[in-house]
């Protein structure tokens, strides 16, 4: 019986040591598995061409799910544009596609954004590439 107890202790010690190494190595793998983004605020375009984004998750307080995204944009001519997207997010990854039935013009028609939430930046940003070849960065409002 003592032999089994020692084996269990050694196994538990090895598992604990591996967890400590993984957590202290600067790896974002373990924290990202449960990262929950605070979508409550507006997100303003700070690089590239775009407007103010509003992210509306289907359910708050979870690390993955469906999301509706609204974008309000005052174009170069001073015209206010509105676009709506539907998509998904998981941890720090997000993808959303234009709802072609809702939009002021064709500028965002058939457009998909794919990107990453840069959780380590303060304020938090998202780097988003769109299917038309553009890239924007949006920054979470305060």
123-140 residue pLDDT tens: 999 999 999 899 999 999
Is the preceding peptide bond at 113 cis, omega within 30 degrees of 0? no
> What is the residue-averaged pLDDT of the chain?
81
Counting the structural domains of the chain, the total is 2
Residue-wise pLDDT tens digits, 6-61? 555 555 555 444 444 444 444 444 445 678 888 888 999 999 988 999 999 999 88
User: CA 120, 125, 128, 134: dihedral to nearest 10 degrees?
Assistant: -120
Q: What is the pLDDT of residue 14?
A: 53
96: in domain: yes
The helix or strand, by DSSP H or E, that contains position 4, with its residue range, turns out to be: helix 2-24
- Please give the backbone phi and psi of residue 9, each rounded to the nearest 5 degrees, phi first: -60, -45
Could you report how far apart the first and last alpha carbons of the chain are, in Å?
Answer: 60
Give dist(CA 94, CA 141) in Å, integer: 18
> Could you tell me the residue range of the domain that residue 24 belongs to?
2-32
Residue-wise pLDDT tens digits, 70-126? 999 887 788 888 999 999 999 999 999 998 877 777 788 889 999 999 999 999 999
Give dist(CA 96, CA 65) in Å, integer: 12
Q: What is the pLDDT of residue 27?
A: 42
14: in domain: yes
Residue 68 shares a structural domain with residue 25: no
Residue 67 shares a structural domain with residue 24: no
Give dist(CA 114, CA 93) in Å, integer: 8
Q: Residues of the chain with pLDDT > 70: what percent?
A: 76
Residue 97 shares a structural domain with residue 130: yes
Tokens of 105: 């013009």
Q: What is the pTM of this model?
A: 0.73
Q: What is the pLDDT of residue 3?
A: 55
Give dist(CA 100, CA 111) in Å, integer: 9
37 closest CA partner among 87, 85, 94: 94
């Amino acid at each position: 019986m003592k032999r089994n107890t020692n084996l269990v202790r050694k196994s538990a010690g090895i598992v604990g040591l591996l967890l400590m190494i993984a957590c202290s190595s600067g790896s974002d793998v373990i924290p990202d598995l449960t990262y929950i983004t605070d979508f409550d605020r507006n997100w303003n375009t700070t690089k590239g061409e775009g407007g103010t984004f509003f992210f509306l998750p289907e359910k708050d307080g979870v690390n993955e799910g469906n999301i509706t995204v609204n974008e309000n944009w005052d174009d170069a001519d001073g015209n206010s544009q509105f676009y709506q997207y539907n998509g998904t997010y998981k941890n720090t990854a997000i993808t959303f596609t234009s709802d072609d039935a809702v939009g002021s013009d064709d500028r965002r028609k058939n457009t998909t954004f794919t990107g990453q939430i840069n959780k380590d930046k303060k304020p938090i940003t998202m780097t988003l590439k769109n299917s038309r070849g553009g890239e924007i960065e949006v920054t979470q409002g305060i």
